[in-house]
Structure 1
């Protein structure tokens, strides 16, 4: 029997698949931490009744923290070994999670949530790492594979949090996450290779260079605003769902809200497929279809204030639309400047999560004033903004000879 050649294409392909699976796991386990709180809002309200009106600040500051972490930490992936950065952030994340689990007041929980958001940018070291490892002709598929892990983390985080909170209380959710991160750190030490830095710029200039990337690349600006609007729509729905289900006619707890994450996982399964289409046909048409799907989902939501079945259908459509657009946008921007992928990714993801935080804030504002129909209209408006940016602005610039 012949010994397999470790340098053969088949062996190299298996090795790449294994690394992509590990990076997908890193992305999913880390990013899940910024979504655990969404199905727990009613639990927070019961634990901290004097600050009940402020519980919506927990998911909002978590996403703002993620945007800040993207800006301040993610660019370091171009300057330093990403493996080392991932491990250091895991240590910080575990400390923040312990504080959240033991929080005596809502103010402490909000502060810990901000830190969790900042440190959860571990996920954004994993995605550019995948783009670096894959051949150019397979970059979209590689990014889609890792993003499927990230998206499963986003969606199943709600399910896991709901189940744990139902039987052990909301504080146990953060404690369990500490254990998961420590196990992951051991696997990273054993299996993940070091990355090769692509820049020698000092930290200050590394941050300033991102502004030059924004000015230089119109495609980056367009993708960033489209992504922000799409994630804003996504966050409007998910930040309010637990409150809708807690009231009449459902009267359901965090477990039911979390189980919707399993339904939304259909969108994550579409991510690698979207990446393959982006590799073959280009991302523009996929983004257009994705925006249409998000708009349709909020029409379905608007008609489903009292229907679990309608909400389930809407969630599937929403998540497929948002995730397909995300993969296509990232496949597009990673080709712009290969030696600055962490910084390009930072620009995009900062805008993306600012959009998410804004969407959560809009949801928290609209819900008590206008109810579920108002939330659905707000989500539709975000989809309209994405369509205007993706279709109307480029068409106008083309007519004016700017493209």
Structure 2
């Protein structure tokens, strides 16, 4: 099973990197196609918009169709979209290609659900942790890789190489036994995804936590380039901070194992406290880069530990609805990420780095408050199996290895 998990982790890293490749290349791509500097930001916007749509409309299909076949098709079509971007000769074709890349890059989340479905319940957290490590590394190294490849062979090479890798993954994806599928229409599938928020308290708490932690994450990563640039650091030096923060990916594996041992709530609470504390280091960035480096590592460790614990917990609610659970959860991830990016850059221009850090700390405190609230709820319902209720997806009991499943849901 371990080689399969590693394969899925690599595949997830390759897929998610496509969403972030363009960020350091905006000026170069715009100059090549004759697009004004004030307009190139739309490249990132259409990619993120496509990703958000894919989360809701494509990822839930994993509960309706054979996941392996769906993943293979998504990688093949993703390769076509990447090829379109790589050969684009005008802004319209480029925008269409990037929107399609974002839409299809959600295969990343299909891979997380696939890994969970292939694992025994006692190992599900480890599987999610391994694949999440690949996702984190893919996100953090995407900017560094795209910059290096652009220096060597131009920006188009980034997308053409990724096109080849996507095809290779599609061709080499290992075989797996078919999973049971619900008898639902596509509309009913999407409706049941939306109902998770209203009918599953555990999902609600974990989705809210995803909003807060990724708002904090993107508050840092969307704005940190601004004070670093003012200190005259080169693109290579700035990119090195992504390599440093990749150390945080190691938190994913241990967090998954602890969740399998029933300690998910402890991981979540401790990591939320670390997330808040990380801003006490990050705030010193204009005075010294060392606190920033250690603060980045702490922040990334915390975010990944919470992220893995969140996913492991919600997947225990209804394993047969893994794709819908991941899709609904990741929508809150996307909303938080977008809000953090928009507010942090605007705040930096208006009030400076301290204001950005206060924003990040506020989001982090929101995550800690949500974690503590879940802990209180767990103590109020101490008896395992005390709450048995019908699921909005299938009639399975609502449980969670961390104990949060003891909070009754409203049917």
Q: Which has the higher contact order (CA 8 A, sep 6+)?
A: 1
Matched, 1:150 2:150: no
Conservation of the 8 A alpha-carbon contact between 1:62 and 1:114 = yes
**CA shift in 2, pair 1:110/1:380, >3 Å:** farther
* Mean Cα deviation higher: 357-366 or 138-147: 357-366
- What are the within-5 Å matches in structure 2 for residues 299-318 of structure 1? 299-318=280-299
1:250 aligned residue: 232
| Cα offset, 1:281, TM superposition | 3.5
**Whole-angstrom CA distance in 1 between matches of 2:54 and 2:307:** 19
Matched, 1:132 2:117: yes
Structure 2 residue corresponding to 1:67, chosen from 52, 68, 71:
52
**Whole-angstrom CA distance in 2 between matches of 1:137 and 1:201:** 28
Matched, 1:277 2:258: yes
**CA shift in 2, pair 1:299/1:227, >3 Å:** same
Total equivalences in the alignment: 384
| Cα offset, 1:314, TM superposition | 1.8
Unaligned runs of 5+ in 1: 1-15
**Whole-angstrom CA distance in 1 between matches of 2:88 and 2:219:** 26
Conservation of the 8 A alpha-carbon contact between 1:63 and 1:356 = no
**CA shift in 2, pair 1:103/1:355, >3 Å:** farther
Matched, 1:237 2:217: no
**CA shift in 2, pair 1:301/1:114, >3 Å:** farther
Unaligned runs of 5+ in 2: 381-406
Q: Deviations over 1:103-142 (max 9, x none)?
A: 5566664553332221101111111111111111111111
**CA shift in 2, pair 1:74/1:384, >3 Å:** same
2:100 aligned residue: 115
Matched, 1:372 2:353: yes
| Cα offset, 1:394, TM superposition | 6.9
Query: How much is the aligned-residue C-alpha RMSD, in angstroms?
Result: 2.7
**Whole-angstrom CA distance in 1 between matches of 2:317 and 2:44:** 32
Normalising by the residue count of structure 2, what TM-score does the alignment of the two structures yield?
Answer: 0.85
1:180 aligned residue: 165
Shift >6 Å, 4+ stretches: 396-399
**Whole-angstrom CA distance in 1 between matches of 2:87 and 2:232:** 31
**CA shift in 2, pair 1:106/1:162, >3 Å:** same
Matched, 1:207 2:190: yes
**CA shift in 2, pair 1:212/1:187, >3 Å:** same
Structure 2 residue corresponding to 1:332, chosen from 313, 334, 342:
313
1:7 aligned residue: none
Matched, 1:196 2:179: yes
**CA shift in 2, pair 1:205/1:76, >3 Å:** same
* Mean Cα deviation higher: 78-87 or 234-243: 234-243
